[in-house]
Structure 1
Amino acid sequence: MKSLRNKVAVITGATGGMGRALAESLANQGVKLVLTSTNEEKLAELRMQLEGKGASVIAVRADVTKEEQVRSLFEQVAQAYGHADMLVNLVGLSIPDKIEAMEEERYDLTMDVNVKGTFLCCKHFIPVVSPESGASIINIGSMAAKRANPNAPLYCTAKAAVNMFSQGLAMQVKEQNIRVTTLNPGGADTGFWGNRQVPREKFLLASDVADVILFVLASDTRIAFHEISFESFNAL
């Protein structure tokens, strides 16, 4: 495993359960962090927490579905660090409902957050990569992309799209020495579920997902991980 010290990582959805766990894990590895979320208060709190432990952190409020905000995010990355080495797209959204009850606006929001947001962040990350360093993009899919869920067919569709987008992108950016990996975790015990009644005893921990992300990022850049699907052993 290679050292990640002084590498620059951009994490979207940084204030969620997985985002916080990953930010803490990467900070412990000496990674320079660029954190983004739409929750400015939680973003500031996370930045202060990590800086208190000696981490180098930039926190930028950004809506990943808005291109101007994503462009500005990566301009700030370039200004602060000159380049970026890693992008982890953790932003995700599911709105469970019966299809006949689903308004068009909720369809658009599901696709925009999960698919468009991933596309825009990848688009603006690529120009700030140093080709000689070997960069990594990790897009978060879901086991729902592999196993249909009757409660959230739109979410399943969106995450399946993320998988296919990542596969095509990986072929495009290979010559730029950028790896692209999709992670498809099963259910994780985070705030993603809101007050929905779900079997949390069968779920992954946020730190489990962060561990898998860290494994991919710290692996030798000659290894291409196309996708990794995983879930809690208790879910089997």
Structure 2
Amino acid sequence: MNLLKDKVVVIIGAGGGMGQAVAKALAAEGARLALGSRSEQALEELTSGLVRDGAEAVCKALDVTSEQEVQAFFDMASQTFGHLDVLLNLAGLSIPASIVEMSVEQYEQSIDVNLKGTFLCSKHFIPHVNTEQGALIVNIGSMAAKRANPGAPLYCTAKAAVNMFSQGLALQLAEKNIRVTTLNPGATDSGFWGTRALARDKFMTTTDVAEMLMLVLQMNPRVVVHEINFESFAVFK
């Protein structure tokens, strides 16, 4: 049974490698997609490609730290499809720097994109859910939330906060028939890392993460997955 066919799935951070991979997988299952990202060009290219291949997809660029832009995005998505079924909060940001070198602006950006963005998108998704049918929110944390990283302590902090936010949100939304799941992937080879010199051959691929997302999305609604921690097996070798 295909539980995703005709479901309206919102992907925030759809312009990134992880978002693009899961958008293509969802389109193949017949889901209808509302795609948001700050990367306007990548977003439009992804959407046009999906539509060309027969998918129902719309997109709108947004800054997840701006409540006005977030609200406008969700209003657009709901007006297009009538209601929303699934929210994937995939947007994230890591700024590698020592604490003494990091500016207050960089601190605010790191916390805002990872945590405030998750909060705002969840807040403006909820009013557009059909509570009789139920809905699902999937927040992307990180293994950095479980294991401190000296190169990016603020990123670790923000993702740990996302984990706790998800736990509280799950309790708050149960009465609305909305499930909440947190996925904590390990290092994944994507544009997230910029030009940092890293041994990416030991990283997971964006397809690996997309497959885990699809596993959660295809669970029967009577089951709630609280949290999944996963990473490349290569890091153990």
* Contact kept? 2:9, 2:86, Cα under 8 Å: yes
Aligned position for 1:100: 100
Gap regions ≥5 residues in structure 1: none
Aligned position for 1:179: 179
Aligned position for 1:42: 42
Aligned position for 2:31: 31
Question: Letter of the aligned partner of 1:40 in structure 2?
Answer: E
* Contact kept? 1:2, 1:219, Cα under 8 Å: no
Gap regions ≥5 residues in structure 2: none
Correspondence 1:1-236 to 2 at 5 A: 2-236=2-236
In structure 2, the residue corresponding to 1:101 is in which secondary structure?
coil
| Alpha-carbon distance between aligned partners in 2 of 1:224 and 1:5, rounded to the nearest angstrom | 20
Measured on the aligned residues, the alpha-carbon RMSD in Å equals: 0.8
Kindly state the Cα deviation for residue 198 of structure 1 after the two structures are TM-superposed: 1.1
> What CA deviation, in whole Å up to 9, does each residue of 1:117-142 have, x standing for no partner?
00000000000001111211000000
In structure 1, the residue corresponding to 2:166 is in which secondary structure?
helix
| Alpha-carbon distance between aligned partners in 2 of 1:7 and 1:80, rounded to the nearest angstrom | 13
Percent identity for Structure 1 against Structure 2:
56
Question: Letter of the aligned partner of 1:137 in structure 2?
Answer: I
Deviating runs (4+, > 6 A) in structure 1?
none
Kindly state the Cα deviation for residue 52 of structure 1 after the two structures are TM-superposed: 1.1
> What CA deviation, in whole Å up to 9, does each residue of 1:188-208 have, x standing for no partner?
010101110111111111011
Question: Letter of the aligned partner of 1:110 in structure 2?
Answer: S
* Contact kept? 2:87, 2:136, Cα under 8 Å: yes
Question: Letter of the aligned partner of 2:5 in structure 1?
Answer: R
| Alpha-carbon distance between aligned partners in 2 of 1:235 and 1:55, rounded to the nearest angstrom | 37
* Contact kept? 1:70, 1:124, Cα under 8 Å: yes
Kindly state the Cα deviation for residue 14 of structure 1 after the two structures are TM-superposed: 0.4
Kindly state the Cα deviation for residue 39 of structure 1 after the two structures are TM-superposed: 1.7
Question: Letter of the aligned partner of 2:112 in structure 1?
Answer: D
Question: Letter of the aligned partner of 1:72 in structure 2?
Answer: A
* Contact kept? 2:15, 2:40, Cα under 8 Å: no
Kindly state the Cα deviation for residue 2 of structure 1 after the two structures are TM-superposed: 4.5
> What CA deviation, in whole Å up to 9, does each residue of 1:150-180 have, x standing for no partner?
0000000000000000000000000111110
